Structure 1
Amino acid sequence: MAINDFITSTLNLEPNQILTFDSSVKDNKLYLFVTLKDSHPNCPFCGCKTKSKGYTKRSYNHLTMGGMPSIIVWKRRRYSCKFCDKSFVEDNPFGPEAFHQTYALLRNVAIELSNVHYSFKDIALRNNISSTLVELYCDSFIQVPRLQLPENLGIDEIHSSMAKYGGSYLCAFVDNNKRCLNELLPDRSKRTLSRHLETIPLSERKRVKYVTIDMWEPYKDVALKYFPNCEVAVDPFHVVKNLTDGFARIRIDIMNHSVKGSPTYYLLKTWNKLLLSDYELDNEPKYNSFFKQKMNYRQLYDALLGINPNLTLAYQLKEMYRKFNKEATEYNCEEWLNQIIQAFKIAHLYCYENFITLLENWKSEILNSFKRPYENRKQSNALAENINQKLNTLITVSNGLSNFDRFRCRSIYCLNSNILYSLTSNIQTYNKRKGKPRGKYKKTDGFMDE
């Protein structure tokens, strides 16, 4: 029957355990009144027979039902031993002894903690408990030890006010093969990274074969020092971003030196996207109100490249590197990159001076990014960037967080399927940030004079 299924699925009971069951609605809350059958237990102290000694009432917050919070009101039977005269109560099937929430509600809280789109307050409102209680259960049910380092490690950072030791960024370790978060550190400095990696056995660090990073120098130094068997690869996205920043510099300079409202200014201001991304240029012509004629992307593109020869040269060099980034392989990338570096040097464009230095300083790491050791994928930090977005989502929906230890545990729990929750009655919490101690004061009798 439906009522039997309901009892079994939500109350953690079999139908034959129920003696009486009733329900009522009061103050927009559903109350479930339950009494269990007498199981005639033996005394847990001496093993002798017992007798009933009346009832005591116990209430538990339960799951939301029909849009209303539900509360289980249990008439709990008390027993007295006929031999030793000691008292005890019947076994509890609803929830842990020290809790006022059922197993079903605690399980629901633990599951919702794995959703980065829910803040502690959201989870509290959905389960009709306090935010403080959700934080307490998060600290107690989710325990995240240090995980083993992966073979293919990605390192990236995320901006946060939780960063320690005077920094502004947290450091994230990502398993590029299993595609999950591996570790979260309170700072991205070389000191913090070194201190963490020094606690890891050398045999485990030797397992790391590939490390992908952005162009933060301490990541490279630490990787080469603590991972003796690794190859460091720089994320291609950050290289291309530095390139496009250089091209934007010359485009903006030419635009700012032109007359505002002129065709040059209009083209560089409005249609610069044609020089930054790949468009189908031979589209259907549309009326352009500035030039007062129909034009397609091809005509606008040609007009842009006709503005200044240095802009055209800068664009050609940019497209040369983009083609290299898309089409080069592990076997031809070195010779191809040498030709590109030479072409950039011959051009003598001021906007690419920093980019040329970047190519020379990070040459081996750029070449390593073209290797495809796993699933035919180039080495990149794309997964780390994706995980950073999810971490930012968790920070955003929470309107800021201050407890790093709690954030670390919940983040890894959300973004690593190997971390599971464990319902336990051993309650603990991470210490809050210590404030300044209160100074000495003198007690006074009565009210102060106005």
Structure 2
Amino acid sequence: MPHPTFTTPDLTSFTSLDRLGLTATGQRLSTSRAEILCEVTDPDPWCRRCGQHGVPRDTITLRLAHEPLGWRPTVLVIKHRRYRCAHCRHVWREDLSKAAETRQKISRSGLAWALAGLVCQHLSVARIAEGLGVTWNTANEAVLAEGRRLLINDPARYDGVRVLSVDEHVWRHTASGDKYVTVIVDLTAVREGTGPARWLDMVAGRSKAVFKSWLAERDEQWKRGIEVVAMDGFAGFKTAAAEELPEAVEVLDPFHVVKLGSDALDGTRQRVQREQHGPRGLKNDPLYKARRTLTVGLDLAIEKQKAKLEDLFTEPAYEPVQLVWSVYQRMVDAYRQPKPEVGKWALSTLIDEIGSKVPAGLPELKRLGTTLKRRKNDILAYFDHKGSSKGPTEALNGRLEHLRGIALGFKNLAHYIARSLLETGGFRPRLHPQS
């Protein structure tokens, strides 16, 4: 009597061979791998030239790496026939295009499994090669080619982009060779609250020409759809965006604006410290001991940190540090305002103050005021375009640090770009091992 819940085992369905046009006819298991004997489910003995029925000539065996079962490498041993037409002498073999690409060593299901492991599970190529039972080079070439075909070269990948972010990235830490690349990220989903940031492209080099050339390659309709470009303080990116995307709003990222204030504060602290304690300060110097506390937002500081700052600022010689510190705190507070219009007004007022009247003896604050005044429109544009911050871009940079750790570094920039796009390209909703 059949079991009311379980059915007869079906090796073909269990190993997903039905989607490849194959039928399992046998198996051989060992501790190191599983081999599944297969044949073509629907043979086609008709001549592709004259349409006559062919005569079986011989049988060929093809071995394909398949998606592993329980992390045991699985090999498809496909027995398929060759036919000869008695009428026109044409010779052909059974069609295996559903199972694998021509001259491919990995089945389509195996490639889908490998690509999902690389993109969704962040596996190394070495781990994927081990699961498939193939060499590293075989796995790397096949998976990157499939990733480019299915995901990277997808023409719809650039559709719907409204908010761009551009940044520089260090792809390798070596003394020789160009180590910088320019990265372009789609922040549209972040601004709309529908998903994460998505890496669009990575280009060798970092300059105005690099970003401008990338934008020039896009069609005019796509460029007209870009509403916002978020960037850091590099003038080259701003100039390129202004020339290629004249209708887009340029937004200077809050992180880099606050970093300018932090640098001014740190520069003032170091200068006063040298004036008071000589060219080489000691670890017990009050200013050096407070270097981290000075950059903490006052609303987040604990009582111990507040007390340390109060004691520090009782020293008259440290008054320049206190003045720059107060400006830094006002910058941080403006970005933390719950109402954008309040934050915009507070930061605009601050920029007008330090951009026109700075007390003598504060060169760091004067440089800060000049920079903020020059980029005032870009800075204040952030409050009108919430969600256009480069924060998600910096988060993707962290993902790439993890990628380099998994791969133990990269030597080939083309491979690094492909792996980076697959790692951070936002393909997860579309990719599934069984697709």
Deviations 1:385-436 (A, max 9, x none): 222222333334333334434433443343333697899xxxxxxxxxxxxx
**Cα deviation, residue 301, structure 1:** 3.3
| Residues 1:153 and 2:164 are matched in the alignment | yes
Q: Secondary structure at the match of 2:169?
A: strand
8 Å contact from structure 1 (residues 116, 391) kept in 2: no
| Residues 1:30 and 2:34 are matched in the alignment | yes
Instruction: Give the corresponding residue for 1:287.
Output: none
From 254, 276, 281, the counterpart of 2:302: 281
**Aligned pairs for 1:391-402 within 5 A:** 391-402=400-411
- Partners of 1:378 and 1:101 lie apart in 2 by 42
8 Å contact from structure 2 (residues 24, 36) kept in 1: no
- Partners of 2:48 and 2:62 lie apart in 1 by 21
- Partners of 1:272 and 1:172 lie apart in 2 by 32
From 219, 233, 238, the counterpart of 2:237: 219
Instruction: Give the corresponding residue for 1:248.
Output: 266
- Partners of 1:105 and 1:3 lie apart in 2 by 25
Deviations 1:311-350 (A, max 9, x none): 3323222212222232273462575234542686136423
- Partners of 1:79 and 1:73 lie apart in 2 by 19
- Partners of 1:90 and 1:349 lie apart in 2 by 82
8 Å contact from structure 2 (residues 232, 253) kept in 1: yes
Q: Secondary structure at the match of 1:96?
A: coil
8 Å contact from structure 2 (residues 27, 34) kept in 1: no
- Partners of 1:236 and 1:154 lie apart in 2 by 13
Instruction: Give the corresponding residue for 1:265.
Output: 284
- Partners of 2:406 and 2:135 lie apart in 1 by 17
Instruction: Give the corresponding residue for 2:180.
Output: 169
| Residues 1:304 and 2:309 are matched in the alignment | no
Structure 2 residue runs without a partner (length 5+)? 1-5, 190-196
- Partners of 2:412 and 2:205 lie apart in 1 by 14
- Partners of 1:80 and 1:264 lie apart in 2 by 87
Q: Secondary structure at the match of 1:370?
A: helix
8 Å contact from structure 2 (residues 12, 24) kept in 1: no
- Partners of 1:45 and 1:139 lie apart in 2 by 36
- Partners of 1:39 and 1:217 lie apart in 2 by 64
**Cα deviation, residue 97, structure 1:** 4.2
Give the helix-richer structure, 1 or 2. 2
**Aligned pairs for 1:407-422 within 5 A:** 407-417=416-426
8 Å contact from structure 1 (residues 138, 410) kept in 2: no
8 Å contact from structure 1 (residues 246, 351) kept in 2: yes
Deviations 1:88-109 (A, max 9, x none): 4334364334223222212112
8 Å contact from structure 2 (residues 163, 388) kept in 1: no
**Cα deviation, residue 217, structure 1:** 0.7
Instruction: Give the corresponding residue for 1:349.
Output: 362
Q: Secondary structure at the match of 1:113?
A: helix
**Cα deviation, residue 214, structure 1:** 0.4
From 363, 367, 374, the counterpart of 1:361: 374
- Partners of 1:136 and 1:263 lie apart in 2 by 55
The AA in structure 1 aligned to 2:200 is N
CA 1:160–1:414: 2 relative to 1, 3 Å: closer
From 202, 214, 237, the counterpart of 2:255: 237
- Partners of 1:35 and 1:222 lie apart in 2 by 58
- Partners of 1:113 and 1:229 lie apart in 2 by 38
Q: Secondary structure at the match of 2:29?
A: strand
Instruction: Give the corresponding residue for 2:3.
Output: none
Instruction: Give the corresponding residue for 1:445.
Output: none
Instruction: Give the corresponding residue for 1:120.
Output: 125
- Partners of 1:319 and 1:334 lie apart in 2 by 11
From 325, 332, 335, the counterpart of 1:322: 332
Instruction: Give the corresponding residue for 2:136.
Output: 131
Q: How many percent identity over aligned positions? A: 19
**Cα deviation, residue 298, structure 1:** 4.4
- Partners of 1:193 and 1:149 lie apart in 2 by 20
8 Å contact from structure 1 (residues 116, 414) kept in 2: no
- Partners of 1:44 and 1:263 lie apart in 2 by 86
- Partners of 1:206 and 1:53 lie apart in 2 by 61
Instruction: Give the corresponding residue for 2:80.
Output: 76
CA 1:7–1:340: 2 relative to 1, 3 Å: farther
**Aligned pairs for 1:43-62 within 5 A:** 43-53=47-57, 55-62=59-66
**Cα deviation, residue 23, structure 1:** 1.9
TM-score, normalising length from structure 2?
Answer: 0.78
Deviations 1:180-208 (A, max 9, x none): 12222222212223333333344432332
Instruction: Give the corresponding residue for 1:109.
Output: 114
The AA in structure 2 aligned to 1:305 is F
CA 1:125–1:3: 2 relative to 1, 3 Å: farther
8 Å contact from structure 1 (residues 19, 36) kept in 2: no
**Cα deviation, residue 67, structure 1:** 4.0
CA 1:390–1:266: 2 relative to 1, 3 Å: same
The AA in structure 1 aligned to 2:216 is E
CA 1:153–1:78: 2 relative to 1, 3 Å: closer
CA 1:255–1:76: 2 relative to 1, 3 Å: same
- Partners of 1:413 and 1:107 lie apart in 2 by 13
Does 1 or 2 have the higher relative contact order (CA < 8 Å, sep 6+)?
A: 1
Q: Secondary structure at the match of 1:173?
A: strand
Point out the more displaced range, 101-110 or 388-397.
388-397
Instruction: Give the corresponding residue for 1:286.
Output: none
- Quick check: which has more Rg, 1 or 2? 1
- Partners of 2:122 and 2:44 lie apart in 1 by 48
- Partners of 1:310 and 1:19 lie apart in 2 by 80
TM-score, normalising length from structure 1?
Answer: 0.75
The AA in structure 2 aligned to 1:398 is A
Q: Secondary structure at the match of 2:126?
A: helix
Point out the more displaced range, 347-356 or 97-106.
347-356
- Partners of 2:62 and 2:237 lie apart in 1 by 56
The AA in structure 1 aligned to 2:380 is L
**Aligned pairs for 1:359-398 within 5 A:** 359-372=372-385, 377-398=386-407
The AA in structure 1 aligned to 2:27 is D
CA RMSD of aligned residues (A): 3.8
The AA in structure 1 aligned to 2:103 is A
